[in-house]
Amino acid sequence: MITVTHRENPRVRTEVSSDDPLEVSEIISLSGLAPRDGSPVHLYSNGVRLMQSESVSPGQVVEIGTCSLIENMVVSHISTKAGRSSIGAGELPDGSIGHAPGGRIGDSLWVVRHVQHRSRKDTRITHAQCHSFNLEGDPYSVGDLVRATPTPDGANSLLFDPRTEEWSILLRVSIPGNMDAEEVRERYRGLLWTIRILSTGDGGGEHSGVLVPKLTHLPAARRNRS
């Protein structure tokens, strides 16, 4: 007997009957807990994700999980204001403070996390840098503010696609015309950029956008670099 519990819903518990070790895919299928909506699914043993090729022996307890990357956040305050643009902040389901460019107070946003760090003022608080998208239609529209870490040449990045939960939308990134492109690439290399969407491809194809420097955090050490 192999016991299967549900990672996101611990009340759910089932048993798969077998005298022999079973492969991960067999357990997922036999558990009756496999997603029916095409969502990705994994098995975990002692908190570690099992590879598809691994097998599980009778007597083991494993967890099944779908680990959605999409979270909900209601904007409670503005954490950064720069002219007419701002970054809205609110509590994420695990208690972290999410920060999403373009969020206004009261907005209920679907977001994905990029990076997170402990607050320097209070180490019990975690800040997560996120961006929001639409779940009802096309995920992004012209004018939306997203986040991405472009390639070293600052030209391309992959944008989160909430329909598949993969980072698969090609985003061509440009630099504002009033800035020195070479200098920007040097200063912002490897950082999480805030980008305003300029165009969206049909059916989730290639998107393009431009760096929004005022909403992109630039460490002090890089600010005065010549």
Partner 1 sequence: MSDGFEGSGISSDEIVELRIWYPSMRAVRGHGIGNGNHRVVILNLVGVRSHTDDTKLMYRLLLDLSNFPNSQPSAFVLSPRDEDIKHVNIGNGSFTNLVPNRKVCSICLGGGSASAFTSWPRERLTRMRGFLNHLENVLNTPNTASRARG
Contacts with partner 1 by CB under 8 A lie at 6, 8-9, 12, 33-39, 66, 68, 70, 72, 108, 110, 135-138, 163-164, 203
When computed from its CA atoms, the radius of gyration of the chain, rounded to whole angstroms, is 21
Whole-Å CA distances, 87 to 61, 92, 130: 43, 15, 10
What is the closest distance, in whole angstroms, from the C-beta atom of residue 202 to partner 1 in the complex?
Answer: 8
Compare residues 159 and 215 and give the one whose CB is closer to partner 1.
Answer: 159
Closest to partner 1 by CB, 37 or 94: 37
Q: How far is the CB of 98 from partner 1 (least distance, A)?
A: 16
Provide, rounded to whole angstroms, the least separation between the CB of residue 90 and partner 1.
13
The residues, any chain, with a CB within 8 Å of residue 185's CB and separated by 6 or more, are 152, 153, 154, 175
Taking the least distance from each CB to partner 1, the nearer of 58 and 201 is: 201
Of 8 and 182, nearer to partner 1 (C-beta) is: 8
